[in-house]
Amino acid sequence: MSEVNVAENLKVVRQNIIDACKRAGRKPEEVTLIAVSKTKPVELIMEAYNEGIRDFGENKVQELTRKMEEMPKDINWHLIGHLQKNKVKYVAGNVTLIHSVDSYELAEEISRQCVKKDKTQDILVEINIGDEESKFGVDYDDAEELVYKIIGLPNIFVKGLMCIAPIAVNYEENRKYFKKMIKKVVDINKVMGDNVNRESSRGEFHDLTGGFPLSVLSFGMTGDYIAAVEEGSTMVRVGTGIFGERDYNK
Ligand SMILES: *Cc1c(COP(=O)(O)O)cnc(C)c1O
């Protein structure tokens, strides 16, 4: 037994998601809980796996690929951290979703590697929603253009938008950013019509929630996932709330 009670934490997070959905008139199935396992050992992560979690998020390529090898094969792996172009070859076509595409050059490299391997890759476009110097992501006003350009590339499919909201003291503070994310996805879908309604890498058609082509919204972390779900997030990325505080010195 670890000091962190992963099973108990998961019970709380899952119930919070169900309650937030109820308040917002949404179905809990619309929300995927991604357990963010960065810096955590495989044995601890397996406690979440044993509680039924099949979506895990990592922010470093090397750590992600190592854990992919060591853990069961029915896991959906999400790359949620900044991706450097020279590391694209290690993940392109091999992970369920890359959440952090914020430039055309990066998308081009993902596309190029996928064509080479005869694979495809689903991605999200990351927006720097709080307009913070320290954060990656495309500027809010440039997001449409980036999405439209990436759509033209082969073997890479834009599924939606992602953001890392500013660190919130009170989760209510980030509600305004989540509302802006929803507005952006609605705006893009209005223009885009049905153009990106294509088959995903896993051979299934994504549920196009609300009838829009971009159907994935990845926002909400330990400090603000309740507000995120209330506002319409379809993927919340929770780390600390499941696995406890991270120690980066280890
Ligand atoms: C670390 C991380 C998370 C999880 O953060 P917590 O506050 O621990 O829930 C979510 N998204 C990204 C991109 C991260 O890097």
Helix or strand or coil: residue 181? Answer: helix
Rounded to whole angstroms, the Cα distance separating 69 from 127 reads 30
Q: Is the CB of 238 under 6 A from ligand 1?
A: yes
Q: What is the pTM of this model?
A: 0.92
Q: How far is the CA of 91 from the centre of ligand 1 (A)?
A: 19
In this predicted structure, what is the pLDDT of residue 250? 61
Burial grade of 229 (CB within 10 A; 0-12, 13-18, 19 or more): buried
In this predicted structure, what is the pLDDT of residue 32? 98
Which residue, chain included where needed, has tokens 């190592």?
A: 66
Q: Is the CB of 164 under 6 A from ligand 1?
A: yes
CA-closest residue to ligand 1 atom 6: 239
In this predicted structure, what is the pLDDT of residue 169? 75
Ligand 1 atom with least separation from CA of 59: 15
DSSP calls for 105-145: HHHHHHHHHHHHHT--EEEEEEE-TT--TT--SB-GGGHHH
For 189-212, the pLDDT digits (tens) are 887 764 444 444 333 434 333 334
Show the tokens assigned to 173.
């503070």
Residue of 58, 59, 102 to mutate, ligand 1, most atoms within 8 A of C-beta: 59
Show the tokens assigned to 20.
């937030």
In this predicted structure, what is the pLDDT of residue 134? 85
Q: How far is the CA of 191 from the centre of ligand 1 (A)?
A: 31
Q: Is the CB of 64 under 6 A from ligand 1?
A: no
What domains lie within the chain, and their CATH numbers? Answer: 6-241 (3.20.20.10)
* Residue ranges in the chain modelled with pLDDT below 70: 1-2, 193-212, 250
Residue of 56, 226, 237 to mutate, ligand 1, most atoms within 8 A of C-beta: 237
Rounded to whole angstroms, the Cα distance separating 133 from 128 reads 9
Q: Is the CB of 112 under 6 A from ligand 1?
A: no
Cβ contacts of 184 within 8 Å, gap of 6 or more:
127, 140, 143, 144, 161
DSSP, res 60 = -
Which residue, chain included where needed, has tokens 């997030």?
A: 233
Cβ contacts of 4 within 8 Å, gap of 6 or more:
44, 243, 244
Q: Is the CB of 40 under 6 A from ligand 1?
A: no
